[in-house]
Amino acid sequence: MGYRDCLACKEAGTKPKRGLNVRLVFDPRITMPGSPTLEGHGLGAEFMAKRVYALGLRDQIDDYELTREQLLVCCWWAGTYGPRSLKKAFGTWAKTAGWHLWHGCINVEDPPLRESEKPGIPAALGASRGQPDA
């Protein structure tokens, strides 16, 4: 069974897109209570999902040198198994995303952004590159 057989895409009439099979793991060497981490990266799924919800995908891809797929998987975990606040934020999105990801397909919509952040900071400021000062 491959990404081409993505039932979610079939249903939505979209074209399946192949993912790299990003995985989340529980690693005893990494202390991220309650949350699995991105394999080979050590970043907690819950931590990343919170950042995506507050700041969007693009900033996290740049700041942490992650792929979109890695972040989608974090958000999917958070919306499915994470704390209540993230289930509320990503739950509906994660249901659909999960169907794609289950088939190894990453033709998934961006996860929702926290409402209050949407109109917020002008793009020029919000997209400042490089390391944050904190």
Taking CB under 5 A as the criterion, the residue among 6, 43, 48, 78 binding Zn ion is: 6
Count of residues that interact with Zn ion, criterion CB under 5 A: 7
* Whole-number Cα distances in Å, 101 to 25, 95, 128: 16, 10, 30
Cα distance between the two ends of the chain: 45
56 to 115, contacts with Zn ion by CB under 5 A?
100, 105, 107
Q: How far is the CB of 8 from Zn ion (least distance, A)?
A: 5
13 to 52, contacts with Zn ion by CB under 5 A?
16
Q: Choose the stretch contacting Zn ion; rule: CB under 5 A; options: 6-14, 56-64, 65-73, 77-85.
A: 6-14
Alpha-carbon gap, residue 31 to 36, rounded angstroms: 10
- C-beta closer to Zn ion: residue 16 or 82: 16
- C-beta closer to Zn ion: residue 3 or 77: 3
Task: Quickly list H helices, 34-83.
Answer: 45-55, 57-64, 68-81
- Number of neighbours of residue 47 by Cβ within 10 angstroms: 15
What residues make contact with Zn ion under the rule CB under 5 A?
Answer: 6, 8-9, 16, 100, 105, 107
